[in-house]
Amino acid sequence: MKNSMKKSLTYIAVAFLALTFAACKVEDPFVDRVVAPVLVDIVGAAFGAPLATEPTVSYPTTGKVTLTARLLELDKTNILDNTKGIDSIPVPNIPIRITLRTGAVLGEVTSNAQGVVSLEKSWEELGLATPRAGAVIRISWSGNYKGIAFTRLSQIQAR
């Protein structure tokens, strides 16, 4: 009898602990939970890159590098209508600051009527005097839309 009672108490204690831990909600102190107001689609990145954490675009080691992105606002008005769905609307006149992750500013550009921003730089201006195949440069695209700040991360790779 004592053995079965110990087992019962053990099961109850384990169940109580499991329920206690399952009920806890731990907030991530390092990630702000505000949804980005625009989609920053990095032009030239592989398919699915708008959803990827860091899309990578490859450039030849000779010549200039043209950093390009499209800024889109997602109109979810017709999300429940399967004949229409979500619409991607270009966002014009948004100032974007393009920087290296080291903090060096590459430039500030404003999106055109199609929501496109573009900046041309040499490899030397990107911090690589003699680029070698496989070298990676990390870029940040930052802006503010409807009072909400956003940043998109991407990478440039020499090929």
Residues 56-73, buried b or exposed e (16+ Cβ, 10 A)? bbebeeeeebebebbbbb
Model pLDDT, residue 54: 86
Phi-psi region of 48 (alpha: psi -120 to 50; beta: other; left: phi over 0): left
Model pLDDT, residue 78: 79
Model pLDDT, residue 15: 59
Per the structure, the count of domains in the chain is: 1
Identify any residues that bridge with 100 across adjacent strands, giving them in sequence order: 139
Task: Judge whether 2 lies within some domain.
Answer: no
Task: Judge whether 98 lies within some domain.
Answer: yes
Task: Judge whether 11 lies within some domain.
Answer: no
> Which pTM was predicted?
0.73
Question: The domain spanning residue 123 has which CATH number?
Answer: 2.60.40.10
Cα distance between residue 43 and residue 53, in whole Å:
15
Task: Judge whether 34 lies within some domain.
Answer: no
Model pLDDT, residue 28: 62
Task: Judge whether 14 lies within some domain.
Answer: no
Task: Judge whether 30 lies within some domain.
Answer: no
Per-residue pLDDT of the chain (159 residues; tens, 9 = 90+): 566 666 666 666 565 655 555 555 666 666 656 677 898 999 998 866 556 568 999 999 998 999 999 999 988 787 787 887 778 899 999 999 999 999 999 999 999 999 999 999 999 999 998 889 999 999 999 999 999 999 999 999 999
Task: Judge whether 12 lies within some domain.
Answer: no
Tell me the residue range of the domain where 131 lies. Answer: 39-158
Task: Judge whether 85 lies within some domain.
Answer: yes
